[in-house]
Structure 1
Amino acid sequence: MSHNPLDTLIHMANQIAANNSHYGSEAEAAERVRVHLKKFWARSMKQQIIDYLHEDGSQLSPIAQAAIAKLEVRPGATDAA
């Protein structure tokens, strides 16, 4: 994997997913990942990873894909859900 910013975000999302994969079901793990991304990632980071999921997403783990699918960055919103 090269070291461009998107590759770094993909790697980070997959690591967060792996670190949360032991929490119950895949859905519960994905929710924990979603909450983490919402709290700790900048809006621009979230938008990049959401765009990647919609364009390809193949390098994301299933848990990361499920978590990112639940993120939505709305222009002008104070908090990205």
Structure 2
Amino acid sequence: MFHTEEESIVTMINHIAQNNVSAGTESDVADMVESHITKFWSRRMKKILAEQLATGTEEFEPAAKVAAQRISDKLAEKA
């Protein structure tokens, strides 16, 4: 199955959240996800993530959504 780049970005953040579920609470997992994305994702990837969050058309894991919102907020502050 082919995925758009946007769908792939959402799939990746969800996988990061799922792989870090042992970190503790939803907030703890969101912290880990946010840290990973901040360190390893390009600005372009973060921008696509923020756009996908804004459209509300993609399904986010709860902790992934929290992390995505934090990242989106930081991007908006820098704009």
Q: Same fold (TM over 0.5)?
A: yes
State the secondary structure of the residue aligned to 1:36.
helix
**Larger relative contact order (CA 8 Å, sep ≥ 6):** 2
Give the aligned partner of residue 22 of structure 1: 22
Aligned partners of 1:15, 1:34: CA distance in 2, in Å? 13
Structure 1 moving runs of 4+ over 3 Å? none
TM-score under structure 1 normalisation?
A: 0.84
Q: Which has the higher helix share?
A: 2
Considering only aligned residues, what root-mean-square deviation do their CA atoms show, in Å?
1.4
Q: Does the 8 Å CA contact 2:53/2:68 hold for their aligned counterparts?
A: yes
Q: Return the offset for 1:2.
A: 4.1
State the secondary structure of the residue aligned to 2:59.
coil
Give the aligned partner of residue 54 of structure 1: 54
- Please say if 1:40 is aligned against 2:40: yes
Aligned residues: 75
Give the aligned partner of residue 7 of structure 1: 7
Give the aligned partner of residue 66 of structure 2: 66
Runs of 5+ consecutive residues of structure 2 not aligned to the other structure: none
Runs of 5+ consecutive residues of structure 1 not aligned to the other structure: 76-81
Aligned partners of 2:43, 2:31: CA distance in 1, in Å? 18
